Structure 1
Amino acid sequence: MKKYTIYNILGLLLVLSAFTSCEFETAEQDPSDIASPYDKPTVTITSDATGVVNEGETVTYTITFDKPIERSVTFTPIVGGTADDHDYSLESVTLQPYTTSIDMPIEVFEDYEIEGQESLSIQIEISGIAEKYLVHPDTVIEPIELQINDFIETNKLVINFAWDTADDFDILTYSDTSVYPETLWGTGGATGDNPEIDTSIWLDDPSGTYYVTILDWGTGIDWDYTFTLGYPDGSVETITGTFDGTNYPYTSFIGPESWGFPNAYKILKVENNGASFVVTKL
């Protein structure tokens, strides 16, 4: 019996010794490093854009991490400025895991609407709340500022015709260069839009006189109009007036038969010498 008791005591001492040894070894181990938020990737945005873009051009901004991570990060543009969303195309982009860069293109649409220089202010943000913690905490993304210039048509007279009522008016262009009466030249300004836009008179058309006419569909009222003209050299001219819809003190002729023979009232005279245009209000 004594013999078994001694064995039991020795066994207990061995267990206690092993437990004490484990505790000592555990205490001697270094704790794991705590991940620092300052080890996360920094964000930079670069581009060769100059800050000015013309309609019809695309500028590209590149978003770059200085190191890859195992998660995707989405960047969302918050847009302000005087340009409307029909003037440009710009979408969110996602930097994929284990990559370090993604392009964000800004496409500026080409049109013939003369709006003057417009602005585009873009703040790029990380859209997801959790994703914000995946990048360096000191990350500051500076806003992008762009100025948009009107598209310049180097061979055409660009005519924008606007008015201040809810009525529908149209413009037609006519040529008086070869035959009389005037020859219908362009119907691009008869679409139901406001402003109406016409680009039918070109520098390489026959030299001579052209007319811009207003079709008044019998409103019987006076209304204010504005012609904004874009010239091939990039200059812009504005001509304003009030259309007398009661007395019609204008030179006119009968418009297209297929349109019901509307009266076409001469408002502007365009002289084309093959190198430039001179526009006169009638």
Structure 2
Amino acid sequence: MDFAEFKEAVYRRFGLYLDGYKEPQLKRRIDSLMALLQVPDYGAYLNLLARDGQQWQRFIDKITINVSEFFRNQEIFVRLEQEILPSLLATFRDLKVWSAGCADGPEPYSVAILLAELAPGGRHQILATDIDPGALAAARRGVYGERALQAVTPTRLNRYFRREGDHFYLQEQIKGMVDFRQHDLLKDAYGSGFHLIICRNVVIYFTADTQNDLYRRFYQALAPGGVFFIGATENLFQYRELGFEKIAPWFYRRPAGTS
């Protein structure tokens, strides 16, 4: 079994679509796992994944890179707090937000904290999705170490978290603002009518063609006037061709009045 056959077999057996990923990076990660496990070939590895749930979770963790923290790239979140969200709230009373590729939850929870402060009476909907069920389970628990909280101000840390030893427990009110669901960006349907879509440092792992396809789907998922928020290491060079207008670094809007 060669690598292409392995990817096809993973899709048939597990429903995980790997063709959109950048192949050299993907193959390097999978080959390194196989070497650690001393698995001789892709056929043997596929059989291992089918019978060992722990190794399947390890496989998912390796290819999805679940690294996140609260208010990651703090200066960008300041712009979100002071400019982007107030502008959206001035147009849409109740915001519908999607955090795509949310890992273990710091990003959507950061947005929940901002909305709790900026518009506490709003009936906001925050959807957070990821392909990894293990990451989603951790997100629902809402328990974090100091590393994930290094950009949280002392005031917010005291207000929204309870410390027990080395662990910080997120306040139930904030946890209750976010709905976590499993979702594969490459094959599952997207929702619609979102006022803010956040997808940061996820699309970079996919091929250029796949990236453009995802950007088009994100555009369609936005409500007219809605904003798309990308990662600090990313650039949406073809935003005009995709229909977006750039309103600030890392923030792109679907123009109002579009259909």
Q: Whose helix fraction is larger, Structure 1's or Structure 2's?
A: 2
Q: TM-score range by the shorter chain?
A: under 0.3
Q: Whose RCO is larger (CA < 8 A, sep 6+)?
A: 2
Q: Whose strand fraction is larger, Structure 1's or Structure 2's?
A: 1
- Higher-Rg structure is 1
Q: What TM-score comes out, normalization by structure 2 length?
A: 0.23
